Structure formats: structure tokens, C-alpha cells
Amino acid sequence: MFRGYDSFAMKSYCILFLIFALVSCDFNRIDPSVDTLRIEPLFSIDEREVDMAVQLYHHYTQSDKSKEFYEVIVERTGAILNYWPEKQLLTVCANPGSNWLGQYKEIDTTKLKWIGDNKINFSQYRDSLMINRPTDTRFVKTNGNP
């Protein structure tokens, strides 16, 4: 009597394991239209945010420009700085899982370089860059977790 129950329980556990495995695979997908550079975190948050802009500028300008999006993701912290050159949008995520912090428009390569050169951190973006209104916010592709 218990043998049939054990067999049924084992099959149920196997099915549950397969479902979880398939679902978890979806969370680790890499979007081929996004060129992602992963960098090590710096000690200070301000230094990290400035470094992200510097790294993003170099990453984009040295690329072959074949991707739709370019981004820098900080290892362990998960902060994201995402650039959409075609739309000239810069999108920021300071805390993964908290969604995007803001989106800024009219960001060309000159403006992107200016952000790094002037050591602008995320909290200064609102005063220094043109914010994209919430009604105009565009969905961006990322290999991170905003």
C-alpha cells in the first residue's frame, strides 16, 4: 500500500523539480540586443556611479555599434546604467529589484562623456540632465534586474 504512495510522491517531486528548473532558466536569459559590461564595485557609491558613466562611455565608443542597448552592471550590487543610442536615452537603476530610478533624454556620446568627466553621480542627474517625463518613459532591454 505504501509503495504506490512512495512512487506517486517521487513522481510529484520530479515534476516539481522540472517545473522549477524550467522557470529558473527563464530568469537567466541574456538578451542578444544588449551589450553588457560587468564591472567590480568601488568602495564609495559616488565613485561607483561616476565610474559607471565613464565605463559606459568607453564601452559604447569602443564597440562596433551593432547592438540596440549598451549597459554597465556593477557586480554584487546590481546597479545598472543603460544607454539606448538610437533614442538617446540613459536609464538608471541604483537598487536592483526597486525598478528604474530614472530615465534621461537627449543623451548623445558628448553628453555621456560629460557626465563622467564632471563626476556626476545618480543623485545629481535630475539637476544636470533632462529627465524623461513618466508619461514618455520608454521600456529598455537589460541583462540586469531593475
> If residue 69 lies in a helix (H) or strand (E), which one and from where to where?
strand 69-74
**Measuring CA to CA, how many Å separate 95 from each of 9, 126, 136, 144?**
41, 17, 22, 11
* Res. 13: pLDDT tops 60: no
**CA quadruple 138, 45, 111, 128: dihedral, nearest 10:** 80
Q: What is the pLDDT of residues 106-146, one digit of tens each?
A: 999 999 999 999 999 999 999 999 999 989 999 999 999 99
Cβ neighbours of 117 (radius 10 Å): 12
What local confidence, expressed as pLDDT, does residue 144 receive?
Answer: 96
> If residue 4 lies in a helix (H) or strand (E), which one and from where to where?
helix 2-27
The pTM of the full predicted model, rounded to 2 decimals, is: 0.80
CB 77 within 8 A of CB 43: no
The three grid cell numbers given for residue 60, joined into one nine-digit string: 559604447
CB 72 within 8 A of CB 39: yes
User: How confident is the prediction for the chain on average, in pLDDT?
Assistant: 87
Give the Cα separation of 71 and 20 in Å (integer): 29
Q: What is the pLDDT of residues 79-103, one digit of tens each?
A: 999 999 999 999 999 999 889 999 9
Q: Which of 59, 132, 143 is nearest to 90 (CA)?
A: 132
The domain locations on the chain are 35-132
Q: Mention every residue, 6+ apart, whose C-beta is less than 8 A from residue 51.
A: 39, 42
Strand-strand pairing, 34-39 and 69-74? parallel
Give the Cα separation of 68 and 60 in Å (integer): 11
25-40: average pLDDT:
84
Query: With pLDDT > 70 as the criterion, what percentage of the chain qualifies?
Result: 81
